[in-house]
Structures are given as structure tokens and as C-alpha cells.
Structure 1
Amino acid sequence: MSLETCAESLRTQDPHRFGCMMAAAPADRSKLVTLYALNLELARAPLQSADPLLAEMRLQWWIDRLRAMGQGDQPPSHDLLSPLHDAWGDKAEAMVPLAEGRKRDCDRQPFDDPAQVEDYVNATAGSLMHLAASALGADADAYAAVSRQALGMGLASWLGALPQLQAWNMGLVPQIAPAAARELARSALLSLDAAADARRLVPRRAAPALAAPAATRAFLTSVADGLQDPLEPAPTISPFRRRAALARLALTGRWWV
């Protein structure tokens, strides 16, 4: 997978992050596009087998390759590992926690506590955003803002996918689902507010790593207020609205909502 193929995969499967990557400085794009393409592969790996052991073996393959790169090993010629190594070098080992955060998916078990969902989101969406933000110059001073934005956005994305997750037995146990979803939406809104309050600690260069999709706050508010059934598909965002949000990001550097 060349950089161009990584970008095309991202454009079709994760259009928001594709747009954010394109809003980044040209020198930063190779790191973002390979990181986000890896994230797609890690999310897919546990779902490629219904057998938990086989699913974890697929995920472990990626973990082993990332650790080997961290030890200075040149990866075998590979569609994604090769451009990933070119962009990140031995720093690719920092992506191991992102991969390990997906191990829970191998068991396909629902969550029975909203706190468990937050831990999962921090391990997956949180790890991803910290890697992207650090690559774009966010330092320790920005850590709290990045963490809060990652939790808010990650919960919004997870809630948006909840109908499909329920079908895969990877969402919430049915007894708590509606109430827990509302609680998670409220938690996400508080996290986004905290991130916005700390926005001055985030360098503008890092804005593409933190930008939320269009209508994130509106969706979370509707779930929190009981106006949107979290077990039904969320309203789709028009391409025009998505492009408008990305244009604002590119022009103003505003990532908070």
C-alpha cells in the first residue's frame, strides 16, 4: 500500500480523517495517512474471524511487526508496513498500545458499565489522537486537551456506531443500553467542553489531529436529551456540511466544538 493507496483507503473508509489529513501541512501528511490507515487495519483485524483466538492472532501479527520496527528492524515488503516505516521509523513502536486496545474486540462481548466504554475509547481513540497530535507538534502541555477531545470524539463515534455494535454483540448489554448511552453522551459533551477550554495549549499545527466531525455536538446533545434513540442509526451528515467543516478547519485552525 503506497501513500497514495493509503490515502485512497482513508478517503473511502474514513472520509473525516482523510479530510483532516489533507488540511495538515504537506510535511505532516505521510505520518497521518499511514497512522490512520493502520488504525483501519487494526479495527478490522479482530472482526475477520469469529474465533476469538484466531482474531487475536491477527491482531498480534500487527503488534509483533510494530515492536520489531521499534527495535530497528526493517519490515518485510508490505503494502502498509513499508510506507508506515518510511514515515515513522522506529517510532512506530509507539502504536503498540493502539493495537492492544483492540484486543477486547476479539471476544465480541458487550459492555455492562459505561466506565468500561470510556476505558476502551481512551485506549483506542485516545491512543490514536495522542499519536497524531504528537506527530503534529503537540507537547506535554497539550496532553489534557488532547485527552479530553479524544474522549469526547471517541464516544461520539462509538455511539454513532452503536446500532451496528449491538448487532455484533459488541455494544452495551440490552438492560442498560438506552440509559448508559445517554450517560456516555453527557460525558462526551463535558469532555469536549473541557478540551475547548484548554484549546490555547494546542498548537495550530496540531489542529487537524483534533478536529471533530460536523454535527458532533448536535448528535451528542440529541442522545443526551433523549431525542435520538441511540439504538437507531444516527442521521447522516451531508457531504456539503462535511466539506464546510473541513474548510473552516483549514482556514481558521478551529478544531474544538
Structure 2
Amino acid sequence: MTLQACAETLQAQDPDRFGAVLTAAPADRPKLLTLYALNLELARAPFQSAEPMLAEMRLQWWIDRLAEMGRGVAPPLHDVLTPLWEAWGKAAGDLLPLAEARRRDCARDPFGSAEEVLAYVDATAGGLMWAAAHGLGAPETARAVVAYQGRGAGLAAWLRALPQLQAMRLGFETENPDAVAQLAEAGREALRRAAKGHRAVPRRAAAALFAGPGAARFLREMAQGSDQTPAEITPFQRRAALAWLALTGRWWGA
């Protein structure tokens, strides 16, 4: 029930976001650590049961706790919710849409079109990035820029995971190379739009907009129809991307 537990979980399961957190100001790290730890729990909840109804019940537990926190009710003692409450207070209720967006995962329904994937990525990765950026001072006027960056980063992550998602019936109904290329190009365009508007986002929020190492390059390869398995991100590449973020505050154009 400590911030350290959130940090350890994030370091083990989401090293890119953990590294990005370390580039943020120390006072801002609790918000990011607890938000990203919550995101891991929300992403995992639908898969804690193979039965859709039971999976949704597990997700509903998180939805109910976030709704209570939004009403000012402290959560029960919990490894994630307790530090989340300490860092966010009633504003934790604003994170409710992140949980609601995971209902689709409970049903194990594959996607029928690229447009459906875009809506899902915008609600999950995009919603998460806006919550993080806004929590670090990004103004409402920066929402569109953050949304573009979240879409680009989210699509890169989703496409990287697509082979595993297909096996879990969470990708497309059948293999769909045209939709994959369409999504990759949509991700590239989103990152380009975010880069053009980067001045709308204060440097303080840079850690929240990190897309992960090699996202733009990966999307370019996928848009060009590459059928090769994407190369693993090396520790050196991860360290180099995070060092650039820490030194320059530049989250765009990576």
C-alpha cells in the first residue's frame, strides 16, 4: 500500500513509462506512478477470468472504487488505490473513463474495422495520456495535441502486440493487412500533428507524452507493408530515448 509498490510494479511491467516517470519533476512522480499502476490493473482486470461476465464483474469493482473516490470516499486499503487516493484525491474520479473503456476487453470481441481500433486506442492510450499530461499541468488548449500523441503512441503499441492479440481474439476477426497499414499510417499522421502543435504543451508535461523508443520508425515500417516481425527494443535504445527526453524535454519527433 505504498508508492514504492506502484513503482516496482511499473518498472517490471511497463519499463518505458517507468523510465519516463523518472524524467518528471520529483513532485510530479507520485501522480504518474499511481496513474500508470492503475492502468496496468485496469488492463489486467478483464483477463482474470475466461468468463466474460466474471471478467466484467472484476472490472466493475475498479469502476465502483473510482466512482466512490470521485465522490470523496476514500478507498479500502489497497496497493494501488491507497497511493492513488493520496496522489489524486477526488480527481481520481476523473479516471473513470479509463476503466469504462476496458469493457470491450471483457467481451473478447475482435475488431471489425480500423475505425473500431482507433476508437478503442483513443479511449485507452489516448485517455491515459491526457490524464497524465493534464495532471502535470497541460492546459485544455493542449488537449488536441495530446490526443494526437496518444493516438500515435497507442497505435504503435497496439500494432506491436497484434500477433498476441490475434491469438486472444482481441485483434481483427481475420488477418487484415490493409487495416494494419491504414492504422499505421493513421498513427504516423497523428504523431506528425502532435509534433506540429508541441508548443501548446508545457515542458513540465513532457514525461507524460513519451511515445516509447522507435514508435515513429515502427509505424513507418508497418505503413509500408513490412511483414517482418518487429525488432525488440534494446536496453540501449530505451536508455538513449529516455536520456534524450530527460535532457531536452523533447517528446515529439522521436
TM-score by length of 1: 0.97
How far did 1:237 drift?
0.8
**Aligned equivalent of 1:123:** 123
Q: Structure 1 residue 136: deviation in Å? A: 0.7
Q: After the TM superposition, which segments of 4 or more aligned residues of structure 1 sit over 3 Å from their partners?
A: none
Equivalent residues in 2 for 1:18-37 (5 A)?
18-37=18-37
Superposed CA offset, 1:159-205 (max 9, x none): 01100000000001215x21111110000000000000000111000
Quote the Cα distance in structure 1 between the aligned partners of 2:179 and 2:39. 26
Q: Which residue of 1 is the match for residue 215 of structure 2? A: 216
Q: Supply the distance in 2 between the matched residues of 1:227 and 1:166 (Cα, whole angstroms).
A: 18
Instruction: Work out the CA distance in 1 between the residues paired with 2:210 and 2:51.
Output: 36
Over residues 195-224 of structure 1, what are the superposed CA-to-partner deviations in whole Å (9 max), with x where a residue is unaligned? 000001110000000011111111111111
* Aligned equivalent of 2:183: 184
Which residue number corresponds to residue 242 of structure 2? Answer: 246
Alignment root-mean-square deviation, CA: 0.9
Listed as ranges, the matches of 1:102-117 within 5 Å are 102-117=102-117
Aligned residues: 253
Secondary structure in structure 1 of the residue aligned to 2:189? helix
1:74 & 1:106 partners in 2: Cα distance? 27
Counterpart for residue 164 of structure 2: 164
Could you tell me how far apart the structure 2 residues matched to 1:80 and 1:214 are? Answer: 27
Letter in 2 for 1:166: Q
Partner SS, residue 237 of structure 1? coil
The residue type paired with residue 97 of structure 2 is P
Q: CA deviation at 1:10?
A: 0.4
Shift of 1:75: 1.1
Offset, 1:81? 0.8
Structure 1's unaligned 5+ residue stretches are: none
Deviation at 1:234, TM superposition (A): 2.2
**What is the alpha-carbon distance in structure 2 between the residues aligned to residue 121 and residue 21 of structure 1?**
21
Q: Determine helix, strand or coil for the equivalent of 1:5.
A: helix
% identical aligned pairs: 57
What is the distance in 2 between the residues matched to 1:169 and 1:7? 31
Partners of 1:34 and 1:92 in 2: CA distance: 10
SS at match of 2:121: helix
Gaps of 5+ in 2: none
Partner in structure 1 of residue 77 of structure 2: 77
Q: Which residue of 2 aligns with 1:93?
A: 93
Does the residue aligned with 1:117 lie in a helix, a strand or coil?
A: helix
Q: Deviations over 1:44-94 (max 9, x none)?
A: 000111111000000000000001011111111111111010000000001
Matched, 1:194 2:193: yes
1: CA distance, partners of 2:217 / 2:75: 43
Deviation at 1:100, TM superposition (A): 0.3
If the length of structure 2 is used for normalisation, what is the TM-score?
0.98
Aligned partner letter, 1:68? E
Equivalent residue of 1:10, what SS?
A: helix
Asked if residue 68 in structure 1 is aligned to residue 68 in structure 2, the reply is yes
Counterpart for residue 173 of structure 1? 173
1:22-54 CA-partner distances (Å, limit 9, x unpaired): 100000000000000000000000011111100
SS at match of 2:42: helix
Residue 235 (str. 1) matches residue 234 (str. 2): no
